[in-house]
Homo-oligomer: A and B are copies of this chain.
Amino acid sequence: MENILKEAVESSRSVLKKGSVATYIPELAKADPEALAAAFCGTDGAMASAGDVNTSITVQSISKVASLGLALQMLGEDLIFSRVGVESSADPFNSIMRLEMKAPHRPLNPMINSGAILVLSLLPFKESGERLQAVLETMRLMTANQDLAINEAVAVSERDTSDRNRSLGYFLRSVGSMQGDVENVLDSYFRQCAIETTVKDLAVMGATLASGGRNPLSGNLIFSERVALILRALMGTCGLYDGSGDFAVRVGLPAKSGVGGGIVGSIAGRGGIATVGPALDSRGNSIGGIRVLEHLSRSMSLRVL
């Protein structure tokens, strides 16, 4: 298994020079564009990894899976999906125009920024710190890694540069789709995006979803089977933003990407597959990570579509 992963990582390094690290958050620009790693965690807890496995990245949008899972678990799918849709968007992850264009003025799905911010606002926490703590704890449970922590430099950098997310938040409130204190919600959003992690953590996260919500390392049940299924379904249709269709053709499994360079995939009943590679393509997805997953989809027969 390690050999298969190694082969996939090494043969994919050549594509890295076609990508570039995210620059809109200054701290992200410091990431190593040449890093590339892969890990697989079976539903039995067996782990294999290859490449730059110690490279740590911030989870960014991958945290949306955790916060959505938490919200579904706490509030139920009926409530959540009365406030946010489940359909894929052909617009970029930070798009606002459809919120105005079509009634009801609610986000298309929880994987784009507007949807993730809205979901966060529904969580029953008053303090930004409590909300963050709940999401962080969910990430820790999904990864079986109690040491997960916030990269404060990245969090501050996000906060200072994220005008678009502020625009989304205030727009959602202006149309009545969101209540509460926008800055308070954004504060926890910026910080949950800055949770630091590695490729092994992400593989465990995927394995937890593949095991119907039970973390195969800790044995703890983090989500109900239904919640795990919903998360996989949404990863399958809109996990890579407006690159989701291309990913379905090339790789063919549920996955979620983040602009930190991580991708976490989940194959129900089999395990979690993850990659780390901060060099991104034009849509904000890890260019090396997609190549590695395309390779592994064939060599490990991971495709489900």
Interface residues of A (CB under 8 A from B): 85-91, 94-98, 100-101, 108-109, 163-164, 166-171, 173-174, 182, 229-230, 232-234, 236-238, 242-246, 248-249, 252, 254, 268, 303-305
Residue A173 contacts which of B85, B98, B109, B163 (CB distance < 8 angstroms)? B163
Residue A305 contacts which of B90, B94, B97, B254 (CB distance < 8 angstroms)? B254
User: Which B residues are in CB contact (< 8 Å) with A88?
Assistant: 87-90, 237-238, 244-245
Q: Can you sample 17 A-B contacts with CB below 8 Å?
A: A86-B249, A87-B242, A88-B237, A88-B238, A95-B100, A96-B96, A97-B97, A109-B245, A167-B169, A170-B170, A232-B252, A233-B305, A234-B248, A236-B248, A237-B244, A237-B245, A237-B305
Q: What copy number does this chain have within its complex?
A: 4
Least CB distance from A211 to B in Å reads 15
Residue A245 contacts which of B85, B97, B167 (CB distance < 8 angstroms)? B85
CB pair B268–A305 under 8 Å, yes or no, is: yes
Pick the most buried of A229, A232, A248, A252: most chain B CB atoms within 10 A of its CB. Answer: A248
Please give me the 10 A-B residue pairs with the lowest Cβ-Cβ distance, nearest first. Answer: A97-B97, A88-B88, A163-B174, A167-B170, A164-B174, A86-B245, A167-B171, A87-B245, A304-B304, A236-B305
Least CB distance from A202 to B in Å reads 19
**Given the complex of chains A and B, what is the CA–CA distance between A201 and B78 in angstroms?**
36
**Given the complex of chains A and B, what is the CA–CA distance between A216 and B241 in angstroms?**
36
User: Which B residues are in CB contact (< 8 Å) with A95?
Assistant: 100
**Given the complex of chains A and B, what is the CA–CA distance between A233 and B236 in angstroms?**
10
Task: A230-B249, A238-B245 given; name 5 further pairs at CB < 8 Å.
Answer: A86-B245, A87-B244, A87-B245, A237-B248, A268-B303
CB pair B170–A163 under 8 Å, yes or no, is: yes
User: Which B residues are in CB contact (< 8 Å) with A229?
Assistant: 249, 252, 303, 305
**Given the complex of chains A and B, what is the CA–CA distance between A244 and B86 in angstroms?**
9
**Given the complex of chains A and B, what is the CA–CA distance between A164 and B95 in angstroms?**
16
CB pair A249–B233 under 8 Å, yes or no, is: yes
User: Which B residues are in CB contact (< 8 Å) with A174?
Assistant: 94, 163-164, 167
**Given the complex of chains A and B, what is the CA–CA distance between A268 and B305 in angstroms?**
7
Least CB distance from A141 to B in Å reads 22
CB pair A100–B96 under 8 Å, yes or no, is: yes
Least CB distance from A80 to B in Å reads 11
Least CB distance from A250 to B in Å reads 8
Least CB distance from A183 to B in Å reads 10
User: Which B residues are in CB contact (< 8 Å) with A182?
Assistant: 163
Least CB distance from A235 to B in Å reads 8
